[in-house]
Structure 1
């Protein structure tokens, strides 16, 4: 008896967890694709500089798109070659590392200690090598499925800790920034509002990362791949939005709202504008 394509798809849906799980995965993937494509349009048509933030956002969005499509084809047995797992892993490494670089590249907006910034970069590089490059081998996925699932949890935990530390650093430095009247400039109310929004966004990101951790350790290994793509897309799009607002506020604050640079106190440096995407409104 011959097997039709409909039979193959039905078997794949059943193996994935049934129609509800498949539809949930499709919804997560749809959200991620929409946000990434929309962000690409904004980046490629409305930016006037090519900074580290620009390339990190671009690579992260491309990695999310490729990873989402690749795990869709792999989980539903449309593309089962070893090359599919290689693409899945490389795309995952791309968007996870790029997401951390997005956080690092905008850190200079609120962080006035460059030494701490270098330590953050060292942490990203070390974690990327230890937990990113040492991933599962495509030739042993069937024999070492349990080991692969365990190592996936270790990877998710490692990058969760890394990104959470950076988010906490943002919250701490932003809170310090709010207490400095000179850095707030003349447009204090607008600057305070944007800085508080930055704190709220970082709290939201930590909550989203916690939800990824919860799903990862709940045993829904296949579904968590689609959920991670959606969460990272939401994080990336939210950070892109808040960066533009923050850049406007801090640029106005650093010039005192009049185009003249405010005299700096000893030991305090105002935020730099290099590494920031200049967006044409």
Structure 2
């Protein structure tokens, strides 16, 4: 099996070799763009979201370069098999963890979040690690491009791995779409068209892995191995953009709900129900001026008078409700 046990430079045609080199160039270029976007987007470079995105993006050039060196016999197949596995684990598991790190924006149930994290860890331990071990053994055992029993087992396990990982990532993306479809009507009242646009973006990011599975079942190992970093780099660019939009939209909507306007039935003299009271405590001078004016709220709404005790917002003129 070309590529599964060793180099392919002596068995592949020039057009296929040029295609593989083109995939490598696209993946590395996308990865460089993502590095720039990550360091421009993240103000605080810490947390699971930042490190998982950085890990997933670092896995892309590692996997691409090691595949290129292995396939064209620039480096020995065995050690390159280890590097390929490391790059694959970083790229795939990193993207899964990146999706998980922002799942709390649409799911408030900690039990569901723990279940999703357990699924990601189980996929890594029971699917990715065994298949990676088979690939390393296959690389050291025989590099004669002859199908051996180990190669046959690896070939079946590799197809199963791609199907399961595609299902896991589709489930993660599907959770975003499902949960967002349930809450978008409320947020759409505030944000309008942005909510509908984000819903379509979430749908588009969930359908990028099916073509990799199709290429794998066509027994084109060398093509799908170099094509995977391209697809995952595009997927990572889309997900980084969509998740950033989701975080901004949810946080701004939450700010509007807690915002600077008093509910019409909120007593204006209740300190506990006024979250902005500590930011606009009146000075002594302003308090004296308010007392002289009969306890009317300042035109900018920056202070409250104690003479309004017991009056509701419905009893106040509209100008006094703006903050």
Shorter-chain TM-score range: 0.7 to 0.9
Is residue 86 of structure 1 aligned with residue 82 of structure 2?
Answer: yes
- Tell me the secondary structure at the aligned position of residue 190 of structure 2: coil
Within 5 Å, give how 1:26-175 maps onto structure 2. Answer: 26-49=21-44, 50-134=46-130, 135=132, 136=134, 137=137, 138-142=139-143, 143=148, 144-175=150-181
Within 5 Å, give how 1:260-275 maps onto structure 2. Answer: 260=260
Residue number in structure 1 paired with 2:225: 225
**Any conservation in 2 of the 1:13–1:19 contact (CA below 8 Å)?**
no
Range with greater deviation from structure 2 (245-254 or 123-132): 245-254
How far off its partner does 1:262 sit?
A: 10
C-alpha separation in 2, matches of 1:112 and 1:83: 44
- Tell me the secondary structure at the aligned position of residue 15 of structure 1: coil
C-alpha separation in 1, matches of 2:178 and 2:225: 31
> TM-score, normalised to structure 2's length?
0.70
C-alpha separation in 1, matches of 2:121 and 2:183: 28
How far off its partner does 1:115 sit?
A: 1.4
Residue number in structure 2 paired with 1:252: 252
**Any conservation in 1 of the 2:177–2:199 contact (CA below 8 Å)?**
no
**Any conservation in 2 of the 1:254–1:262 contact (CA below 8 Å)?**
no
Residue number in structure 1 paired with 2:202: 199
Is residue 186 of structure 1 aligned with residue 190 of structure 2?
Answer: yes
Structure 1 residues 196 and 212: CA distance shift in structure 2, 3 A: same
Number of residue pairs matched by the alignment = 246
Where does structure 1 lack aligned partners over 5 or more consecutive residues? 1-10, 264-281
Which is greater in Rg? 2
Which one scores higher on RCO, CA 8 angstroms, separation ≥ 6? 1
Where does structure 2 lack aligned partners over 5 or more consecutive residues? 1-6, 264-323
**Any conservation in 2 of the 1:100–1:124 contact (CA below 8 Å)?**
yes
Structure 1 residues 141 and 118: CA distance shift in structure 2, 3 A: farther
Structure 1 residues 121 and 262: CA distance shift in structure 2, 3 A: farther
Structure 1 residues 99 and 149: CA distance shift in structure 2, 3 A: same
**Any conservation in 1 of the 2:9–2:73 contact (CA below 8 Å)?**
no
C-alpha separation in 1, matches of 2:230 and 2:193: 33
C-alpha separation in 2, matches of 1:162 and 1:12: 31
Compare the two structures and name the one with the higher helix fraction: 1
**Any conservation in 2 of the 1:256–1:262 contact (CA below 8 Å)?**
no
C-alpha separation in 1, matches of 2:178 and 2:159: 28
Is residue 176 of structure 1 aligned with residue 182 of structure 2?
Answer: yes
Structure 1 residues 199 and 46: CA distance shift in structure 2, 3 A: closer
**Any conservation in 2 of the 1:212–1:228 contact (CA below 8 Å)?**
yes
Q: Deviations over 1:221-248 (max 9, x none)?
A: 1110011110000000111111222222
C-alpha separation in 2, matches of 1:63 and 1:177: 34
Residue number in structure 2 paired with 1:25: 20
C-alpha separation in 2, matches of 1:30 and 1:261: 53
- Tell me the secondary structure at the aligned position of residue 107 of structure 2: coil
Structure 1 residues 258 and 117: CA distance shift in structure 2, 3 A: closer
Aligned-CA RMSD value: 2.3
